[in-house]
Chains A and B, each alone.
Chain A
Amino acid sequence: MKKFVYFLIVCLTLIVPALATVDDAISAAMEAADPYVKQGFIVREDQWGGDLGAGEKKGFQHTLFKGNDYWFFMATDTLKAKVNVHIYNAEGKLADQESLQKGSYAAIRFRPPSTGSYYLIVEVEKSPEERTHWALVYAYK
């Protein structure tokens, strides 16, 4: 019986990471954003996510408004994976103002110099998995 329980635990340990989903990545991103709520940021209820291979990038066009203060959080639930998020203006120039990377998430703060279109580029920089689930959320104040 003990052997069976041990076998079950080992199996579960192996299976659980494989069952990781975008939902887990969303939870990780929301968790990363949570401390900023105390600073008055409103976290959008909408989330964006999917899976990417290591070194793969995805771009999002986003209209941002001058006068607002934004934080964007990209996260994964894959252990030892490293993710990145950066913001570029409509001319393709890097516009990051403040960035941080902690464990399974990366974040950037952005106060748009003018209202208009910006591009958020998310990337799974490295990962032990072939495909890595990720999620992006943002907050504004």
Chain B
Amino acid sequence: MHHFRAAAFLVLVLLTSALPLRAAAPPAQIDLKQFQQGTQIDNVIVPVPAEIFLVLDKIGTPNWKAEMRDADLKIGERHQIALLLGTVIADGFVAVEATDREKVKNIGRDVLKLAGAIGVRDSVLGRSNSIIEKADKGDWLNVKRELDGALQDVRNAMSELNDDQLAHLVSLGGWLRGTEVLTSVLNKSYSKDGSDLLHQPQLLAYFNAQIKAMPPELRKTSLIVQVRRRLLEISPLIDESEISKQSVDKVHTITSDLVKSILQKDS
């Protein structure tokens, strides 16, 4: 009888301790509309270019060195700098893929220079130094993390300065340059799996919504007008179930044009 009681007690203890590990079954189907109202714009996670580049590495052998660019950074208005900063950070991810130490180090310095021009130098000083130091050691994994961190630190610093619109432009700049590189790789070696990576209509809708919500004095600058118009051209091209080589080529032309425009000073 004692043995039975002891066994029953043991079973009870085991059940009690096991129960908290069982997660309650989540609903199999939910109405997404409840999460899409009001705060939809704020609740979007923007991926970093490294996530896309990682897939490209898995499905092919891109020539990353050929995707690097030598950009002559021209510093103009704050919105242009924000977009430019995003493209430069994306360049950093490309240079990491190419394992080009000098390029990554230069990009670390460029990030600092652009952050300084926009008034958030202190927020990325540590990251910039770390990018340079880790690139010197060839610690590519941590360079990626530092670039990601620099992106977030700059955005957070801008938000603290009530410059949320500029923070969004940094993300958009990164997306544009990342997409330019993605489509360049796909143009050289088209595959259905590769082109599937462009299937990001909701993310594009998010960027469009961000621009639409900007104050008129910012939204009506020639650069932002151009960016918005060209983004609307991209939307139908990447909302296809199978994205054709022609569509990839068109998206590449548009993103290349925009990245070039961002390099110019805007009036």
Q: Which residues of A contact B (CB under 8 A)?
A: 42-46, 48, 57-68, 82, 84, 86, 88, 90, 92-94, 96, 99-102, 106, 114-117, 119-121, 125, 138, 140-141
Contacts and interface: CB of A to CB of B under 8 A. Distances in A.
A81 B20 CA distance: 11
A104 B27 CA distance: 22
22 contacts: A42-B141, A42-B144, A42-B145, A45-B148, A59-B43, A60-B45, A63-B200, A65-B47, A65-B51, A65-B197, A67-B54, A67-B55, A67-B58, A84-B24, A94-B29, A96-B26, A101-B22, A102-B21, A116-B199, A119-B32, A120-B45, A140-B54
B40 interface: yes
- Nearest 4 pairs of A and B residues by beta carbon: A59-B35, A67-B55, A45-B149, A117-B202
A114 B199 CA distance: 9
A57 B35 CA distance: 9
B8 interface: no
A120 B157 CA distance: 26
A42 B43 contact: no
Given A84-B26, A115-B197, 6 more contacts: A46-B152, A62-B44, A62-B45, A68-B51, A68-B54, A140-B51
Contacts of B203: 63, 117
B14 interface: no
Nearest to A57: B35
B48 interface: yes
Contacts of B26: 84, 86, 94, 96, 121
A29 B187 CA distance: 39
Contacts of A102: 21
B54 A61 contact: no
Given A61-B206, A62-B45, A121 B35 contact: yes
B144 to A, nearest CB: 6
A59 B21 contact: no
Interface in B217-252: none
A139 to B, nearest CB: 11
Chain A interface helix/strand/loop/mixed:
strand
Contact of B47 (A63, A66, A141): A63
B55 A121 contact: no
A84 to B, nearest CB: 6
Interface string B9-48: 0000000000011111011111110111000100111111
Contact of A99 (B23, B50, B58): B23
B196 interface: yes
Given A63-B47, A114-B196, A125 B24 contact: yes
A114 B146 CA distance: 28
A8 B137 CA distance: 48
A109 B46 CA distance: 19
A94 B27 CA distance: 7
B143 to A, nearest CB: 11
A112 to B, nearest CB: 10
Given A42-B50, A61-B40, A66 B28 contact: no
A89 B112 CA distance: 39
Contacts of B50: 42
B52 A88 contact: no
Contact of B32 (A45, A86, A88): A88
